[in-house]
C-alpha cells in the first residue's frame, strides 16, 4: 500500500513537516500544528483556513506584520511565513516558537497564590507593549496566552482580531457593525453591543477577569462571583483593582495598563515594572531603561584639525548644556597650563582650544581623558535623577492609596 505523503510547509529558507495528524489547536479561521524543520527542531505553525473571506486574510496579514518584528519577551514572535497549497487555493501560514502549554493549562493545576502576580505581570507587560505600539488585542483569554514551563514565561499570542493604529504599516480592516469580536466569556460590554468602539479598554476589562480567575478559578460574571479575598485573604486589596478594571462603562475603568501596574506597585509589588517606547520608538523597554542619547552612545573624539591658532576637535555628537557644564567643572583631572577643561569652547559637535605646534598633541591627549571622565559623570548623574524620580512617583502613589484607604475606613464607621 502506498504511504501517504507527509504534509509540508515551505518558506523561502526552510521546509517544515507536520509531526502529528491532530492539530495543537483549531478555530474558525485556522489550525495550529506542531512541525519540525529540516534540522529536526520543533515549532508551532498556524495556517489560515483557505475558505475564509478577504477581511480575515487581511487580519492574518496584520498579525504576521506585527509579530514578525517583535523582540518583546512577552509577545509571540513570528519566525517565518509563507503560502501552502490547498485544495481550494493557497493558504498563508506562519511559524512561531513551540510552547508546551497555555495560561489555561497552568490555571487547571491551580497556581500558588504567591506565584500569581509575578506571572500576571508578564501578561501585563505583553499587552502593554502592544498598546504602546498602537495595537489593541481585543481577544484576550487564557487560551491565547502561551506558557513555557522551562523558563516560566507567558507570552501573548493570537492577534487575529487586533486593531492597529499604524495603518501605513498594516492593512486597514474595517470592523463592520455587529461583527463578533472576542470570546464572549472574556469580552467587554462594548464588544457585545452593536456599533460601539472597541479599543484598549476592552483589553483592560479582559485582564481584570483573568486576574480574578487566576486566584479564584472563576470568571466574574454579574453579581455574587467569588472574589479574591475569599480565595486568598492576603491579596484582598486586588478586589478593588479588579472592580476598577471591569467597570461596565469603559470610561470608568483604569485608563491604561500603566495605571493597573501603578495600583499594584503601591502595594509593594516591586517586581512589576513600567514600560515605555525607546527614544527611537522602535522597541518597548522597561521605564528604568536610560535611553539618553549620550548615555546610550557616549561622546567620542572622531577627528581633529588645526587652523588660525585653534585646535578643532570633532565629536561624535553635539553635547547638551548639562554635559558641557560637567566637562567644564570636572573635579579631578591632570592638565597642562592653559589647557584645563574650563578653557575648551564647544560649538555644536566641535570643541576648540587655543594651541600652538608645541602643545597641540598634549592638549588632545588631555582632552580625551576629560572626555572619558565627563561621560562617566554624566551617565551616573542621569541614573541618579531617574531613580529619584521613580522613587518619588512610587512614594506619591503609596501615599495616595493610604489616604484613600483611610478615607474608606472613616466612611465605613460613620453612622448617619
**Pick from 233-247, 258-272, 303-317: least confident:** 258-272
Q: What is the DSSP letter of 17?
A: E
Ranges assigned E (strand) in 13-120:
15-18, 25-26, 30-36, 42-48, 80-86, 89-96, 101-102
Q: Higher model confidence: residue 397 or residue 325?
A: 325
State phi, psi for 142 to the nearest 5 degrees. -55, -30
pLDDT, position 167: 46
pLDDT, position 343: 94
The answer to whether 299 and 322 are in contact (CB under 8 A) is: no
Average of per-residue pLDDT across 383-407: 80
Is pLDDT at 4 greater than 70 in this prediction? no
Average of per-residue pLDDT across 30-57: 91
Is pLDDT at 62 greater than 60 in this prediction? yes
Q: Mutual orientation of helices 360-413 and 257-265 as an angle, nearest 10°?
A: 80
Return the closest-CA partner of residue 134 out of 78, 65, 223: 65
Q: What is the DSSP letter of 3?
A: P
With DSSP H G I counted as helix, E B as strand and the rest as coil, what are the percentages for the chain, rounded to 5?
40, 20, 40
**Pick from 114-123, 298-307, 358-367, 403-412: least confident:** 403-412
Summarize pLDDT for 153-206 with one digit per residue, the tens: 999 999 988 876 654 444 545 554 444 444 688 989 988 887 778 889 999 999
pLDDT, position 69: 80
pLDDT, position 81: 93
Q: What's the Rg (C-alpha) of the chain?
A: 28
pLDDT grade for 265, boundaries at 50, 70 and 90:
confident
Report pTM.
Answer: 0.74
Cα 235 from Cα 238, distance rounded (Å): 6
Q: Which of 53, 112, 125, 139 is catalytic?
A: 139
Is pLDDT at 123 greater than 80 in this prediction? yes
Question: 374: phi > 0 → left, psi -120 to 50 → alpha, else beta; which?
Answer: alpha
pLDDT, position 51: 84
308 is catalytic: no
The answer to whether 122 and 67 are in contact (CB under 8 A) is: no
Summarize pLDDT for 268-285 with one digit per residue, the tens: 787 888 777 765 556 676
Q: Higher model confidence: residue 288 or residue 247?
A: 247
pLDDT, position 99: 95
Q: Higher model confidence: residue 276 or residue 330?
A: 330
Is pLDDT at 235 greater than 70 in this prediction? yes
Summarize pLDDT for 342-365 with one digit per residue, the tens: 999 999 999 999 999 889 999 999
Is pLDDT at 87 greater than 80 in this prediction? no
Cα 147 from Cα 119, distance rounded (Å): 10
Ranges assigned E (strand) in 150-231:
153-156, 163-164
Is pLDDT at 60 greater than 70 in this prediction? yes
pLDDT, position 86: 64
Is pLDDT at 370 greater than 60 in this prediction? yes
Return the C-alpha cell found at 263: 495600583
**pLDDT over 70 for what percent of the chain?**
90
Cα 75 from Cα 81, distance rounded (Å): 17
State phi, psi for 148 to the nearest 5 degrees. -120, 105
Mean pLDDT score across all residues of the chain: 87
Amino acid at each position: 500500500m502506498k504511504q501517504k505523503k507527509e504534509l509540508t510547509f515551505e518558506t523561502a529558507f526552510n521546509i517544515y513537516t507536520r509531526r502529528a495528524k491532530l492539530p495543537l489547536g483549531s478555530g474558525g479561521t485556522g489550525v495550529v500544528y506542531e512541525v519540525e524543520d529540516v534540522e529536526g527542531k520543533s515549532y508551532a505553525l498556524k495556517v489560515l483556513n483557505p475558505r475564509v473571506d478577504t477581511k480575515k486574510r487581511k487580519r492574518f496579514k496584520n498579525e504576521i506584520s506585527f509579530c514578525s518584528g517583535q523582540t518583546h519577551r512577552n509577545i509571540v514572535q513570528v519566525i517565518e511565513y509563507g503560502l501552502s497549497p490547498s485544495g481550494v487555493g493557497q493558504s498563508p501560514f506562519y511559524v512561531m516558537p513551540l510552547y508546551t502549554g497555555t495560561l489555561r493549562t497552568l490555571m487547571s493545576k491551580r497556581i500558588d497564590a504567591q506565584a500569581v502576580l509575578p506571572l500576571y505581570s508578564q501578561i501585563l507587560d505583553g499587552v502593554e507593549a502592544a498598546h504602546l505600539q498602537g495595537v489593541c488585542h481585543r481577544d484576550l483569554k487564557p487560551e491565547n496566552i502561551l506558557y513555557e514551563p522551562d523558563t516560566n514565561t507567558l507570552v501573548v499570542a493570537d492577534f487575529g482580531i487586533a486593531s492597529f493604529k499604524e495603518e501605513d504599516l498594516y492593512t486597514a480592516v474595517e470592523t463592520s457593525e455587529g461583527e463578533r469580536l472576542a470570546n464572549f466569556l472574556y469580552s467587554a460590554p462594548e464588544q457585545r453591543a452593536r456599533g460601539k468602539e472597541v479599543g484598549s479598554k476592552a483589553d483592560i476589562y479582559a485582564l481584570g477577569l483573568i486576574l480574578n480567575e487566576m486566584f479564584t478559578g472563576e470568571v466574574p460574571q454579574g453579581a455574587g462571583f467569588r472574589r479574591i479575598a475569599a480565595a486568598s485573604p492576603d491579596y484582598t486589596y486586588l478586589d478593588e483593582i479588579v472592580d476598577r478594571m471591569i467597570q461596565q462603562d469603559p470610561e470608568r475603568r483604569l485608563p491604561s495598563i500603566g495605571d493597573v501596574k501603578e495600583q499594584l506597585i503601591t502595594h509593594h509589588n516591586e517586581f512589576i515594572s513600567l514600560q515605555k517606547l525607546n527614544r527611537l520608538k522602535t522597541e518597548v523597554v522597561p521605564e528604568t531603561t536610560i535611553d539618553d542619547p549620550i548615555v546610550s552612545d557616549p561622546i567620542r573624539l572622531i577627528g581633529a584639525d588645526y587652523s588660525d591658532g585653534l585646535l578643532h576637535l570633532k565629536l561624535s555628537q553635539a553635547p547638551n548644556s548639562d554635559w558641557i557644564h560637567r566637562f567644564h567643572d570636572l573635579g579631578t583631572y591632570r592638565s597642562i597650563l592653559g589647557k584645563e577643561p574650563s578653557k575648551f569652547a564647544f560649538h555644536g559637535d566641535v570643541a576648540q582650544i587655543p594651541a600652538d605646534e608645541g602643545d597641540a598633541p598634549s592638549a588632545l591627549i588631555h582632552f580625551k581623558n576629560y572626555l572619558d571622565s565627563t561621560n562617566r559623570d554624566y551617565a551616573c548623574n542621569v541614573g541618579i535623577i531617574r531613580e529619584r524620580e521613580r522613587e518619588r512617583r512610587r512614594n506619591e502613589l503609596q501615599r495616595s492609596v493610604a489616604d484613600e484607604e483611610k478615607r474608606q475606613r472613616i466612611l465605613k464607621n460613620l453612622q448617619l
